[in-house]
Structure 1
Amino acid sequence: MGKMMQTAHAANTYAAQKVMTCAKEDLPTMLYGGAVRFINQSLQAIEQGNLQEAHIYNLRAQDIVQELMITLDMQVEISKSLMSLYDYIQYRLIQGNIKKDKESLIEARDMIQELRETWVEAVKIARKERGGAAHGVL
Protein backbone atom coordinates (compact mmCIF):
# COMPACT_ATOMS: atom_id res chain seq x y z
CA MET A 1 0.00 0.00 0.00
CA GLY A 2 1.50 3.31 -1.09
CA LYS A 3 1.94 6.27 1.23
CA MET A 4 -0.96 8.16 -0.41
CA MET A 5 -3.28 5.17 0.02
CA GLN A 6 -2.20 4.76 3.65
CA THR A 7 -2.94 8.43 4.30
CA ALA A 8 -6.37 8.16 2.64
CA HIS A 9 -7.15 5.00 4.61
CA ALA A 10 -6.11 6.65 7.89
CA ALA A 11 -8.23 9.72 7.12
CA ASN A 12 -11.25 7.54 6.31
CA THR A 13 -10.79 5.52 9.50
CA TYR A 14 -10.50 8.71 11.56
CA ALA A 15 -13.63 10.16 9.93
CA ALA A 16 -15.59 6.96 10.56
CA GLN A 17 -14.55 6.91 14.23
CA LYS A 18 -15.47 10.57 14.61
CA VAL A 19 -18.95 9.95 13.17
CA MET A 20 -19.52 6.91 15.38
CA THR A 21 -18.58 8.75 18.59
CA CYS A 22 -20.22 12.13 17.96
CA ALA A 23 -23.44 13.25 19.58
CA LYS A 24 -26.43 12.67 17.32
CA GLU A 25 -27.03 16.39 16.91
CA ASP A 26 -23.43 16.94 15.76
CA LEU A 27 -23.75 14.61 12.76
CA PRO A 28 -25.51 17.12 10.46
CA THR A 29 -22.78 19.67 11.27
CA MET A 30 -20.15 17.17 10.17
CA LEU A 31 -22.09 16.24 7.03
CA TYR A 32 -22.60 19.87 6.06
CA GLY A 33 -18.91 20.54 6.61
CA GLY A 34 -17.93 17.56 4.48
CA ALA A 35 -20.23 18.65 1.65
CA VAL A 36 -18.74 22.16 1.69
CA ARG A 37 -15.22 20.71 1.66
CA PHE A 38 -16.00 18.44 -1.32
CA ILE A 39 -17.65 21.28 -3.24
CA ASN A 40 -14.60 23.47 -2.64
CA GLN A 41 -12.36 20.66 -3.86
CA SER A 42 -14.56 20.26 -6.95
CA LEU A 43 -14.33 24.00 -7.65
CA GLN A 44 -10.56 23.91 -7.26
CA ALA A 45 -10.30 20.93 -9.62
CA ILE A 46 -12.42 22.75 -12.22
CA GLU A 47 -10.11 25.76 -11.97
CA GLN A 48 -7.13 23.46 -12.50
CA GLY A 49 -8.79 21.80 -15.48
CA ASN A 50 -8.98 18.42 -13.77
CA LEU A 51 -12.54 17.51 -14.73
CA GLN A 52 -12.37 13.89 -13.55
CA GLU A 53 -11.29 14.97 -10.07
CA ALA A 54 -13.99 17.67 -10.07
CA HIS A 55 -16.55 14.97 -10.91
CA ILE A 56 -15.39 12.69 -8.09
CA TYR A 57 -15.54 15.46 -5.46
CA ASN A 58 -18.93 16.59 -6.75
CA LEU A 59 -20.30 13.05 -6.43
CA ARG A 60 -19.09 12.92 -2.84
CA ALA A 61 -20.96 16.14 -2.07
CA GLN A 62 -24.05 14.70 -3.78
CA ASP A 63 -23.74 11.54 -1.66
CA ILE A 64 -23.76 13.65 1.51
CA VAL A 65 -26.82 15.61 0.42
CA GLN A 66 -28.52 12.30 -0.43
CA GLU A 67 -27.70 11.01 3.06
CA LEU A 68 -29.17 14.15 4.60
CA MET A 69 -32.35 13.59 2.55
CA ILE A 70 -32.64 9.92 3.52
CA THR A 71 -32.32 10.61 7.24
CA LEU A 72 -35.07 13.24 7.40
CA ASP A 73 -38.02 12.34 9.60
CA MET A 74 -40.89 13.32 7.32
CA GLN A 75 -43.31 13.26 10.29
CA VAL A 76 -41.65 16.48 11.46
CA GLU A 77 -42.96 19.54 9.63
CA ILE A 78 -39.57 21.24 9.12
CA SER A 79 -38.31 18.12 7.35
CA LYS A 80 -40.57 18.93 4.41
CA SER A 81 -38.89 22.31 3.99
CA LEU A 82 -35.46 20.77 4.39
CA MET A 83 -36.30 18.14 1.78
CA SER A 84 -37.13 20.90 -0.71
CA LEU A 85 -33.87 22.69 0.07
CA TYR A 86 -31.82 19.51 -0.20
CA ASP A 87 -33.55 18.65 -3.46
CA TYR A 88 -32.65 22.06 -4.90
CA ILE A 89 -29.06 21.80 -3.63
CA GLN A 90 -28.79 18.36 -5.23
CA TYR A 91 -30.14 19.81 -8.51
CA ARG A 92 -27.51 22.59 -8.44
CA LEU A 93 -24.74 20.08 -7.71
CA ILE A 94 -25.84 17.93 -10.64
CA GLN A 95 -26.02 20.96 -12.94
CA GLY A 96 -22.61 22.09 -11.73
CA ASN A 97 -21.22 18.64 -12.40
CA ILE A 98 -22.72 18.22 -15.87
CA LYS A 99 -21.75 21.70 -17.06
CA LYS A 100 -18.72 22.16 -14.79
CA ASP A 101 -20.50 25.36 -13.82
CA LYS A 102 -18.82 27.05 -10.90
CA GLU A 103 -21.81 29.34 -10.22
CA SER A 104 -24.08 26.34 -9.58
CA LEU A 105 -21.53 24.83 -7.23
CA ILE A 106 -21.00 28.09 -5.38
CA GLU A 107 -24.76 28.49 -4.92
CA ALA A 108 -25.03 24.94 -3.54
CA ARG A 109 -22.02 25.48 -1.26
CA ASP A 110 -23.37 28.77 0.09
CA MET A 111 -26.75 27.20 0.86
CA ILE A 112 -25.09 24.32 2.70
CA GLN A 113 -22.89 26.73 4.66
CA GLU A 114 -25.97 28.66 5.71
CA LEU A 115 -27.72 25.45 6.78
CA ARG A 116 -24.62 24.45 8.74
CA GLU A 117 -24.46 27.79 10.56
CA THR A 118 -28.17 27.58 11.40
CA TRP A 119 -27.79 24.02 12.68
CA VAL A 120 -24.79 24.94 14.85
CA GLU A 121 -26.79 27.77 16.45
CA ALA A 122 -29.81 25.50 16.99
CA VAL A 123 -27.61 22.90 18.72
CA LYS A 124 -26.11 25.60 20.97
CA ILE A 125 -29.57 26.80 21.98
CA ALA A 126 -30.84 23.25 22.57
CA ARG A 127 -27.81 22.36 24.69
CA LYS A 128 -28.18 25.52 26.72
CA GLU A 129 -31.85 24.73 27.31
CA ARG A 130 -30.93 21.19 28.38
CA GLY A 131 -28.33 22.55 30.76
CA GLY A 132 -25.31 21.88 28.58
CA ALA A 133 -25.81 18.14 28.13
CA ALA A 134 -23.45 16.88 25.45
CA HIS A 135 -25.63 14.04 24.21
CA GLY A 136 -29.28 13.42 23.53
CA VAL A 137 -31.91 14.21 21.00
CA LEU A 138 -32.77 17.77 20.05
Structure 2
Amino acid sequence: MVVNNPYQAYQQNSVTQSTPGELTLMLYNGCLKFLNQAKKGIETNNIELKNTNIQKAQNILREFMVTLDMSQSVSESMASLYEFMINRLIEANINNDISKIEEVYALTLEFRDTWKQVIQINRQKQYGTPGEI
Protein backbone atom coordinates (compact mmCIF):
# COMPACT_ATOMS: atom_id res chain seq x y z
CA MET A 1 0.00 0.00 0.00
CA VAL A 2 1.44 3.34 -1.10
CA VAL A 3 0.72 6.26 1.19
CA ASN A 4 1.19 9.71 -0.34
CA ASN A 5 0.21 11.74 2.71
CA PRO A 6 3.13 12.00 5.19
CA TYR A 7 0.73 12.15 8.15
CA GLN A 8 -0.98 8.95 7.00
CA ALA A 9 2.42 7.31 6.57
CA TYR A 10 3.35 8.34 10.12
CA GLN A 11 0.09 6.95 11.48
CA GLN A 12 0.54 3.69 9.58
CA ASN A 13 4.10 3.30 10.91
CA SER A 14 2.94 4.12 14.45
CA VAL A 15 0.47 1.25 14.35
CA THR A 16 2.63 -1.32 12.59
CA GLN A 17 5.71 -0.67 14.73
CA SER A 18 4.00 -0.43 18.12
CA THR A 19 3.95 -3.11 20.79
CA PRO A 20 0.60 -4.59 21.86
CA GLY A 21 0.80 -2.48 25.03
CA GLU A 22 1.35 0.70 23.01
CA LEU A 23 -1.56 -0.21 20.72
CA THR A 24 -3.80 -0.61 23.77
CA LEU A 25 -2.67 2.81 24.96
CA MET A 26 -3.54 4.25 21.53
CA LEU A 27 -7.02 2.71 21.78
CA TYR A 28 -7.58 4.28 25.20
CA ASN A 29 -6.45 7.64 23.82
CA GLY A 30 -8.76 7.22 20.84
CA CYS A 31 -11.66 6.39 23.12
CA LEU A 32 -11.01 9.56 25.15
CA LYS A 33 -10.90 11.60 21.95
CA PHE A 34 -14.20 10.12 20.75
CA LEU A 35 -15.84 10.79 24.12
CA ASN A 36 -14.76 14.44 23.92
CA GLN A 37 -16.20 14.69 20.42
CA ALA A 38 -19.47 13.10 21.56
CA LYS A 39 -19.69 15.62 24.38
CA LYS A 40 -19.07 18.42 21.87
CA GLY A 41 -21.86 16.99 19.72
CA ILE A 42 -24.31 17.24 22.61
CA GLU A 43 -23.16 20.75 23.50
CA THR A 44 -23.59 21.96 19.90
CA ASN A 45 -26.77 19.95 19.27
CA ASN A 46 -24.95 18.03 16.51
CA ILE A 47 -26.69 14.67 16.79
CA GLU A 48 -24.58 13.03 14.08
CA LEU A 49 -21.30 14.03 15.76
CA LYS A 50 -22.58 12.76 19.11
CA ASN A 51 -23.90 9.48 17.78
CA THR A 52 -20.91 8.66 15.56
CA ASN A 53 -18.38 9.28 18.31
CA ILE A 54 -20.33 7.45 21.00
CA GLN A 55 -20.46 4.45 18.67
CA LYS A 56 -16.71 4.67 18.05
CA ALA A 57 -16.04 4.76 21.81
CA GLN A 58 -18.40 1.81 22.33
CA ASN A 59 -16.59 -0.16 19.62
CA ILE A 60 -13.26 0.35 21.38
CA LEU A 61 -14.77 -0.75 24.69
CA ARG A 62 -16.25 -3.83 23.00
CA GLU A 63 -12.84 -4.64 21.54
CA PHE A 64 -11.34 -4.45 25.02
CA MET A 65 -14.05 -6.83 26.25
CA VAL A 66 -13.48 -9.49 23.60
CA THR A 67 -9.71 -9.43 24.05
CA LEU A 68 -9.81 -10.03 27.81
CA ASP A 69 -8.08 -13.19 28.98
CA MET A 70 -10.93 -14.67 30.99
CA SER A 71 -8.56 -17.11 32.71
CA GLN A 72 -7.31 -14.13 34.74
CA SER A 73 -9.33 -13.28 37.83
CA VAL A 74 -9.40 -9.54 37.09
CA SER A 75 -10.88 -10.08 33.62
CA GLU A 76 -14.40 -10.76 34.88
CA SER A 77 -14.41 -7.46 36.77
CA MET A 78 -13.00 -5.62 33.77
CA ALA A 79 -15.66 -7.14 31.50
CA SER A 80 -18.36 -5.94 33.89
CA LEU A 81 -16.87 -2.45 33.96
CA TYR A 82 -16.63 -2.27 30.17
CA GLU A 83 -20.25 -3.44 29.89
CA PHE A 84 -21.30 -0.80 32.42
CA MET A 85 -19.46 1.86 30.41
CA ILE A 86 -21.09 0.77 27.14
CA ASN A 87 -24.53 0.90 28.79
CA ARG A 88 -23.79 4.37 30.16
CA LEU A 89 -22.93 5.51 26.65
CA ILE A 90 -26.20 4.07 25.34
CA GLU A 91 -28.04 6.11 27.99
CA ALA A 92 -25.97 9.21 27.15
CA ASN A 93 -26.80 8.81 23.47
CA ILE A 94 -30.53 8.36 24.05
CA ASN A 95 -30.85 11.16 26.61
CA ASN A 96 -28.15 13.59 25.40
CA ASP A 97 -26.63 13.26 28.86
CA ILE A 98 -23.14 14.77 29.11
CA SER A 99 -22.74 13.60 32.72
CA LYS A 100 -22.83 9.96 31.61
CA ILE A 101 -20.17 10.64 28.98
CA GLU A 102 -18.06 12.35 31.64
CA GLU A 103 -18.50 9.30 33.90
CA VAL A 104 -17.23 6.99 31.16
CA TYR A 105 -14.46 9.47 30.34
CA ALA A 106 -13.23 9.40 33.95
CA LEU A 107 -13.12 5.60 34.01
CA THR A 108 -11.39 5.45 30.63
CA LEU A 109 -8.85 8.03 31.76
CA GLU A 110 -8.11 6.00 34.88
CA PHE A 111 -7.67 2.81 32.82
CA ARG A 112 -5.45 4.65 30.34
CA ASP A 113 -3.25 6.13 33.06
CA THR A 114 -2.91 2.75 34.76
CA TRP A 115 -2.01 1.13 31.46
CA LYS A 116 0.59 3.84 30.81
CA GLN A 117 2.17 3.12 34.20
CA VAL A 118 2.30 -0.60 33.42
CA ILE A 119 4.12 0.11 30.16
CA GLN A 120 6.59 2.39 31.93
CA ILE A 121 7.28 -0.20 34.66
CA ASN A 122 7.83 -2.90 32.03
CA ARG A 123 10.24 -0.65 30.14
CA GLN A 124 12.15 0.06 33.35
CA LYS A 125 12.46 -3.66 34.00
CA GLN A 126 13.46 -4.38 30.41
CA TYR A 127 15.88 -1.50 29.79
CA GLY A 128 16.74 -0.30 33.28
CA THR A 129 15.65 3.26 32.52
CA PRO A 130 12.26 4.96 32.69
CA GLY A 131 10.55 4.86 29.32
CA GLU A 132 8.71 7.97 28.25
CA ILE A 133 5.42 7.48 26.46
Same fold, TM-score > 0.5, yes or no: yes
The one of 97, 101, 105 aligned to 1:101: 97
Tell me, which stretches of 5 or more residues in structure 2 are unaligned?
none
Higher relative contact order (CA 8 A, sep 6+): 1
**1:79 correspondence with 2:75:** yes
Tell me, which stretches of 5 or more residues in structure 1 are unaligned?
1-8, 134-138
Over 3 Å counting, the alpha-carbon distance change for 1:44 and 1:10 in structure 2 is: farther
| Residue identity matched to 1:92 | R
**Cα distance in 2, alignment partners of residues 99 and 10 from structure 1:** 40
The one of 66, 69, 82 aligned to 2:65: 69
Superposed displacement of residue 95, structure 1? 0.9
Superposed displacement of residue 132, structure 1? 5.0
TM-superposition CA deviations, 1:8-36 (whole Å, max 9, x none):
x9877754542222111111111110001
- 1:1-138 matched pairs, under 5 angstroms: 15-131=11-127
Where 2:25 maps in the other structure, the secondary structure is helix
Please tell me the root mean square deviation across aligned C-alpha atoms, in Å. Answer: 2.0
Q: How many residues align?
A: 125
For normalisation by structure 1, the TM-score amounts to 0.81
**Cα distance in 1, alignment partners of residues 107 and 18 from structure 2:** 24
**Cα distance in 1, alignment partners of residues 85 and 91 from structure 2:** 10
The percent identity for this pair of structures is: 33
| Residue identity matched to 2:98 | K
TM-superposition CA deviations, 1:85-114 (whole Å, max 9, x none):
111111111111111110100000110001
For normalisation by structure 2, the TM-score amounts to 0.84
Superposed displacement of residue 43, structure 1? 0.4
Over 3 Å counting, the alpha-carbon distance change for 1:18 and 1:84 in structure 2 is: same
